[in-house]
Amino acid sequence: MEHSEQGGRPEGGLRERSKARRRAAIIRAAFILFAERGYQATTIADIAAAADVAPRTVAMYFPSKQEIAMARFSAAVDSLTSALRDRAPGESLTEVTGRWLRAYEAVADPELTQLALRMFAANPELNALRSARMAESIAEGAGLVAKEIGVAPDEPGPRMASAATAAILLELLDFPPGPRREEAITAAVRFLDAGIAGLAAGASTTARSV
């Protein structure tokens, strides 16, 4: 039996697990409905009924439908941004990205991954939201690339490299698990390494010519 750090009753842990289960049920129900009926046609009441909770319970966890649709993706982006900020000394953008993608696969729910694929395929407006949500990670990645190749953070090269990384992440985040995903991650890292190396060579040539 679980106990709190204060040696009290287990209700706190049980309550948190119950909250997590309700939140997961709401997300799963919403993903299914957004894929089958469409994002615009689905109401909070529909989601509540499918998750077997009251509409006010949905509102307690998520202030809007958009927050539900983006919940899983936003958590992933926040995790990636933290990984970029907390990287080890000397660790490159591609090393952080590859490590993060492999770690993400280990904890991802395969069924929810498939539901997310269906949802985004059926709702182009949600894809646009995903791209916009990557802005913070793109800025963080651009700063990292700029440092790697020795140019100012506002130069176009680092921004392009980071934007390319974001586009690859959008493709790989919901890529089905298995050997092909690992092959895709390896190919993506090689592609990005080559691109950043090209930027570095260009920056070095420009510096010598000045």
Q: Phi first, then psi: what are they for 36, rounded to 5°?
A: -85, -40
pLDDT at 46: 98
**Could you say which of 37, 63, 89 is where a domain stops?**
63
- Distance between CA 10 and CA 2 in Å, rounded? 5
- The CA dihedral of 127, 128, 131, 133, to the nearest 10 degrees, is -100
Give me the count of residues in the chain: 210
Instruction: Based on the fold, state whether residues 112 and 138 are members of the same structural domain.
Output: yes
The structure tokens listed for 49 are 């009924």
Average pLDDT of the segment spanning 191-196: 88
For residue 1, being part of any structural domain is answered with: no
Instruction: Based on the fold, state whether residues 99 and 49 are members of the same structural domain.
Output: no
Percent of the chain with pLDDT over 70: 90
pLDDT band at 85 (very low <50, low <70, confident <90, very high): confident
| CA-based nearest residue to 93, from 147, 43, 53 | 147
| CA-based nearest residue to 181, from 127, 123, 120, 113 | 113
* 19-28, 96-105, 117-126, 138-147: range with lowest mean pLDDT: 138-147
Instruction: Based on the fold, state whether residues 11 and 94 are members of the same structural domain.
Output: no
> What CATH number does residue 52 fall under?
1.10.10.60
Could you read off the pLDDT of 59-70 as tens digits, one per residue? 999 999 999 999
Instruction: Based on the fold, state whether residues 113 and 136 are members of the same structural domain.
Output: yes
pLDDT at 89: 85
Instruction: Based on the fold, state whether residues 52 and 128 are members of the same structural domain.
Output: no
Helix (H) or strand (E) holding 119: helix 110-122
Residue 1 has pLDDT above 60, yes or no: no
pLDDT at 151: 85
pLDDT at 12: 61
Helix (H) or strand (E) holding 94: helix 93-107
Q: Residue 42 burial by CB count (10 A; 0-12/13-18/19+): exposed, middle or buried?
A: buried
Residue 134 has pLDDT above 70, yes or no: yes
Instruction: Based on the fold, state whether residues 58 and 150 are members of the same structural domain.
Output: no
- Distance between CA 117 and CA 173 in Å, rounded? 10
**Could you say which of 22, 44, 63 is where a domain stops?**
63
Instruction: Give the count of domains, the chain.
Output: 2
CA 172 to chain centroid: 10
> What CATH number does residue 194 fall under?
1.10.357
Instruction: Based on the fold, state whether residues 89 and 30 are members of the same structural domain.
Output: no
Could you read off the pLDDT of 30-60 as tens digits, one per residue? 999 999 999 999 999 999 999 999 999 999 9
Average pLDDT of the segment spanning 73-95: 87
pLDDT at 205: 54
pLDDT band at 202 (very low <50, low <70, confident <90, very high): low
Name the 3-class secondary structure at 53: coil
Instruction: Based on the fold, state whether residues 116 and 166 are members of the same structural domain.
Output: yes
- The CA dihedral of 154, 143, 66, 185, to the nearest 10 degrees, is 120
Instruction: Based on the fold, state whether residues 33 and 131 are members of the same structural domain.
Output: no
Residue 3 has pLDDT above 90, yes or no: no
Instruction: Based on the fold, state whether residues 117 and 203 are members of the same structural domain.
Output: yes
- Distance between CA 41 and CA 115 in Å, rounded? 17
Mean of the per-residue pLDDT values for the chain?
Answer: 85
The structure tokens listed for 94 are 């591609």
**Could you say which of 48, 63, 78 is where a domain stops?**
63
Domain span at 153:
69-209
Instruction: Based on the fold, state whether residues 152 and 50 are members of the same structural domain.
Output: no
